[in-house]
A and B are shown apart, each in its own frame.
Chain A
Amino acid sequence: NAGVMQNPRHLVRRRGQEARLRCSPMKGHSHVYWYRQLPEEGLKFMVYLQKENIIDESGMPKERFSAEFPKEGPSILRIQQVVRGDSAAYFCASSPTSGTGAYGYTFGSGTRLTVV
């Protein structure tokens, strides 16, 4: 079991470009969570998805950010028209059940986005 796979590990984008971050959950996990970690700050919830459904996107900015978790393939976090303030580490976690279950969460190694 390869764990939660995120790619790319590092991503550099110029202001105004699009960033696509990918997350493949652990095998058998159907719940995916995205978090953002700004330098010297804690992890902030962005969005919670199950296959083909967005369950909670209350932590995601309403403009420029979107997320999906299709029936086939990885979950994608998409940031359009990136700005310098989007520079952060983006982490994905997966779980076989919701957070109220017995399994906890497994995190990926993150994607470090730098906007220049």
Chain B
Amino acid sequence: GENVEQHPSTLSVQEGDSAVIKCTYSDSASNYFPWYKQELGKGPQLIIDIRSNVGEKKDQRIAVTLNKTAKHFSLHITETQPEDSAVYFCAASNQAGTALIFGKGTTLSVSS
């Protein structure tokens, strides 16, 4: 079955810097890759996703890139702000309406 590895487990940046979180997946049939942000005591919030037919997607300060050949995808956050501090999870699935397989998360800390 699918396995998703996520790195780093923790990431500390200064406000205004960029942050990059990387994930690799094992199942070449995976075609959907969402990213979730989870704040303390809350459920995960979908922040951006990408499907296998595109290589990059941007939404304001966040972007996701996908390399299907290498089976890895990354989350890029530019101009980080203290409110970006949270745990970020990547995930993958190979069919709409089925289970997401999650990475173990990255704790991002943005200091002002």
- Genuine A/B complex: no
Residues of A within 8 A of B (CB): none
Residues of B within 8 A of A (CB): none
